[in-house]
Amino acid sequence: MIACEIEYNRNRHIELIQQSAFNPEVQQFRADLRACIDNELHGSEDDQYAETKFAQVKQILDRLRGRQEYIAEDRRWRTLVTNVRNWFQFSASERWNEDDREYEHYSDSSGKSGGQIEKFEKRSRAFRFVIIDEAFGRGSEESAEFGLNLFRKLNLQLMVVTPLQKISVIEPYVSNVAFID
Protein backbone atom coordinates (compact mmCIF):
# COMPACT_ATOMS: atom_id res chain seq x y z
CA MET A 1 0.00 0.00 0.00
CA ILE A 2 1.27 3.48 -0.79
CA ALA A 3 0.20 6.13 1.70
CA CYS A 4 -0.38 9.52 0.14
CA GLU A 5 -0.66 12.98 1.57
CA ILE A 6 -2.98 14.10 -1.17
CA GLU A 7 -6.23 15.71 -0.21
CA TYR A 8 -8.84 14.23 -2.49
CA ASN A 9 -11.99 15.73 -1.03
CA ARG A 10 -12.44 17.91 2.01
CA ASN A 11 -11.07 16.11 5.09
CA ARG A 12 -10.25 12.98 3.08
CA HIS A 13 -7.09 11.66 1.41
CA ILE A 14 -6.20 8.88 -0.98
CA GLU A 15 -4.13 5.77 -0.37
CA LEU A 16 -3.06 3.98 -3.53
CA ILE A 17 -2.85 0.21 -3.48
CA GLN A 18 -0.68 -1.60 -6.03
CA GLN A 19 -0.82 -5.33 -6.67
CA SER A 20 0.93 -7.41 -9.30
CA ALA A 21 -1.38 -8.56 -12.06
CA PHE A 22 -2.79 -12.03 -11.70
CA ASN A 23 -2.45 -12.92 -15.38
CA PRO A 24 -0.17 -15.98 -15.55
CA GLU A 25 1.28 -15.00 -18.95
CA VAL A 26 2.29 -11.58 -17.64
CA GLN A 27 3.73 -13.10 -14.46
CA GLN A 28 5.75 -15.61 -16.51
CA PHE A 29 7.04 -12.90 -18.86
CA ARG A 30 8.19 -10.80 -15.92
CA ALA A 31 9.87 -13.85 -14.34
CA ASP A 32 11.60 -14.60 -17.66
CA LEU A 33 12.87 -11.01 -17.88
CA ARG A 34 14.19 -11.18 -14.31
CA ALA A 35 15.92 -14.48 -15.09
CA CYS A 36 17.80 -12.78 -17.93
CA ILE A 37 19.43 -10.34 -15.54
CA ASP A 38 19.65 -12.43 -12.37
CA ASN A 39 23.20 -12.39 -11.03
CA GLU A 40 24.21 -10.11 -13.89
CA LEU A 41 25.99 -7.70 -11.56
CA HIS A 42 28.00 -10.57 -10.13
CA GLY A 43 28.07 -12.54 -13.38
CA SER A 44 30.57 -15.14 -14.33
CA GLU A 45 33.40 -15.39 -16.80
CA ASP A 46 32.16 -18.91 -17.43
CA ASP A 47 31.19 -19.58 -21.06
CA GLN A 48 28.29 -21.75 -19.91
CA TYR A 49 26.86 -18.81 -17.93
CA ALA A 50 27.06 -16.55 -21.00
CA GLU A 51 25.42 -19.21 -23.19
CA THR A 52 22.60 -19.66 -20.69
CA LYS A 53 21.91 -15.93 -20.55
CA PHE A 54 22.05 -15.69 -24.35
CA ALA A 55 19.52 -18.53 -24.68
CA GLN A 56 17.16 -16.86 -22.17
CA VAL A 57 17.22 -13.56 -24.04
CA LYS A 58 16.91 -15.26 -27.44
CA GLN A 59 13.83 -17.19 -26.33
CA ILE A 60 12.08 -13.98 -25.31
CA LEU A 61 13.12 -12.12 -28.46
CA ASP A 62 11.97 -14.97 -30.71
CA ARG A 63 8.53 -14.91 -29.15
CA LEU A 64 8.32 -11.12 -29.28
CA ARG A 65 9.27 -11.24 -32.95
CA GLY A 66 6.74 -14.01 -33.59
CA ARG A 67 7.72 -17.59 -34.20
CA GLN A 68 6.80 -18.89 -37.65
CA GLU A 69 4.45 -21.60 -36.41
CA TYR A 70 2.80 -19.39 -33.75
CA ILE A 71 2.46 -15.98 -35.44
CA ALA A 72 -1.10 -15.17 -34.27
CA GLU A 73 -0.60 -16.59 -30.77
CA ASP A 74 2.69 -14.73 -30.32
CA ARG A 75 1.14 -11.47 -31.57
CA ARG A 76 -1.65 -11.74 -28.96
CA TRP A 77 0.91 -12.63 -26.27
CA ARG A 78 3.24 -9.77 -27.27
CA THR A 79 0.37 -7.26 -27.09
CA LEU A 80 -0.56 -8.55 -23.64
CA VAL A 81 2.86 -8.75 -22.00
CA THR A 82 4.43 -5.58 -23.41
CA ASN A 83 1.59 -3.37 -22.24
CA VAL A 84 2.76 -2.46 -18.73
CA ARG A 85 -0.79 -1.51 -17.81
CA ASN A 86 -1.34 -5.27 -17.62
CA TRP A 87 1.50 -5.72 -15.11
CA PHE A 88 -0.26 -4.13 -12.14
CA GLN A 89 -3.69 -3.58 -10.74
CA PHE A 90 -4.29 -0.38 -8.84
CA SER A 91 -7.01 0.62 -6.49
CA ALA A 92 -7.47 3.62 -4.28
CA SER A 93 -8.91 3.95 -0.84
CA GLU A 94 -10.44 7.32 0.00
CA ARG A 95 -9.96 7.72 3.74
CA TRP A 96 -10.94 10.17 6.46
CA ASN A 97 -8.00 12.28 7.66
CA GLU A 98 -9.09 12.25 11.30
CA ASP A 99 -9.08 8.49 11.90
CA ASP A 100 -8.01 6.88 8.59
CA ARG A 101 -11.35 5.04 8.20
CA GLU A 102 -12.21 4.16 4.61
CA TYR A 103 -14.87 6.37 3.01
CA GLU A 104 -14.91 4.74 -0.43
CA HIS A 105 -12.85 2.24 -2.40
CA TYR A 106 -12.05 2.63 -6.11
CA SER A 107 -10.96 -0.42 -8.12
CA ASP A 108 -9.80 0.13 -11.68
CA SER A 109 -12.42 2.47 -13.09
CA SER A 110 -15.31 0.89 -11.12
CA GLY A 111 -17.85 3.15 -12.72
CA LYS A 112 -16.21 6.40 -11.65
CA SER A 113 -16.03 9.42 -13.90
CA GLY A 114 -12.84 10.31 -15.75
CA GLY A 115 -12.26 13.18 -13.34
CA GLN A 116 -12.57 10.92 -10.33
CA ILE A 117 -10.24 8.33 -11.82
CA GLU A 118 -7.84 11.08 -12.84
CA LYS A 119 -7.50 12.41 -9.26
CA PHE A 120 -4.88 9.99 -8.15
CA GLU A 121 1.88 7.89 -5.25
CA LYS A 122 4.32 8.98 -2.93
CA ARG A 123 7.43 10.93 -3.90
CA SER A 124 10.45 8.84 -4.64
CA ARG A 125 13.55 8.94 -6.76
CA ALA A 126 11.93 6.67 -9.33
CA PHE A 127 11.58 8.00 -12.85
CA ARG A 128 7.90 8.72 -13.43
CA PHE A 129 7.04 9.99 -16.85
CA VAL A 130 3.46 10.59 -17.99
CA ILE A 131 2.24 11.59 -21.44
CA ILE A 132 -1.15 13.25 -21.57
CA ASP A 133 -2.73 13.74 -24.98
CA GLU A 134 -5.37 16.45 -25.43
CA ALA A 135 -4.73 17.36 -21.83
CA PHE A 136 -7.47 19.04 -19.88
CA GLY A 137 -9.34 19.96 -23.06
CA ARG A 138 -12.81 19.15 -21.79
CA GLY A 139 -12.52 19.76 -18.07
CA SER A 140 -12.83 22.94 -16.09
CA GLU A 141 -9.85 25.13 -15.23
CA GLU A 142 -10.22 24.05 -11.58
CA SER A 143 -10.02 20.39 -12.60
CA ALA A 144 -6.94 21.07 -14.73
CA GLU A 145 -5.23 22.92 -11.85
CA PHE A 146 -6.14 20.11 -9.44
CA GLY A 147 -4.60 17.56 -11.83
CA LEU A 148 -1.45 19.59 -12.38
CA ASN A 149 -0.98 20.15 -8.64
CA LEU A 150 -1.48 16.44 -8.07
CA PHE A 151 1.11 15.54 -10.72
CA ARG A 152 3.52 17.96 -9.03
CA LYS A 153 2.87 16.38 -5.59
CA LEU A 154 3.43 12.94 -7.11
CA ASN A 155 6.73 14.19 -8.52
CA LEU A 156 5.78 13.19 -12.06
CA GLN A 157 7.43 14.50 -15.18
CA LEU A 158 4.74 15.35 -17.72
CA MET A 159 4.64 15.65 -21.45
CA VAL A 160 1.42 17.51 -22.12
CA VAL A 161 -0.09 17.57 -25.59
CA THR A 162 -2.89 20.09 -25.48
CA PRO A 163 -4.87 22.51 -27.59
CA LEU A 164 -4.12 26.17 -26.97
CA GLN A 165 -7.34 26.73 -25.02
CA LYS A 166 -5.80 25.64 -21.68
CA ILE A 167 -2.36 27.20 -22.08
CA SER A 168 -3.05 29.88 -19.47
CA VAL A 169 -3.86 27.19 -16.89
CA ILE A 170 -0.92 24.95 -17.79
CA GLU A 171 1.69 27.72 -18.18
CA PRO A 172 2.67 28.02 -14.47
CA TYR A 173 3.57 24.30 -14.46
CA VAL A 174 5.64 24.30 -17.66
CA SER A 175 9.42 24.41 -17.82
CA ASN A 176 9.90 23.64 -21.55
CA VAL A 177 7.65 24.14 -24.55
CA ALA A 178 7.56 22.78 -28.08
CA PHE A 179 4.99 24.31 -30.40
CA ILE A 180 3.91 22.16 -33.32
CA ASP A 181 1.73 23.52 -36.08
Q: Tell me the per-residue pLDDT of 56-79, one tens digit each, with 9 for 90 and over.
A: 999 999 999 999 999 999 999 999
CB atoms within 10 A of CB 147: 22
Instruction: Tell me how far apart the alpha carbons of residues 151 and 116 are, in angstroms, rounded to a whole number.
Output: 14
**Helix H segments across the chain?**
24-37, 47-65, 71-81, 114-118, 141-153, 167-170
CB atoms within 10 A of CB 121: 19
Torsion angle defined by CA atoms of residues 119, 123, 125 and 127, in that order, rounded to the nearest 10 degrees: 0
Helix (H), strand (E) at residue 5: strand 2-9
pLDDT for the residue numbered 164: 75
Whether 175 contacts 147, CB under 8 Å: no
Whether 150 contacts 123, CB under 8 Å: no
Mean pLDDT on 11-18:
83
- Average pLDDT over the chain, rounded to whole? 79
Interhelix angle for 47-65 vs 24-37, to 10°? 150
Bigger pLDDT: 179 vs 85? 85
pLDDT for the residue numbered 65: 95
Confidence of residue 145 (pLDDT cuts 50, 70, 90): confident
- Residue 127: pLDDT over 80: no
11: region left, alpha or beta (phi > 0 left; psi from -120 to 50 alpha): left
- Residue 30: pLDDT over 90: yes
CA separation (Å) from 172 to 11, 148, 168, 176?
27, 10, 8, 11
pTM score, two decimals? Answer: 0.51
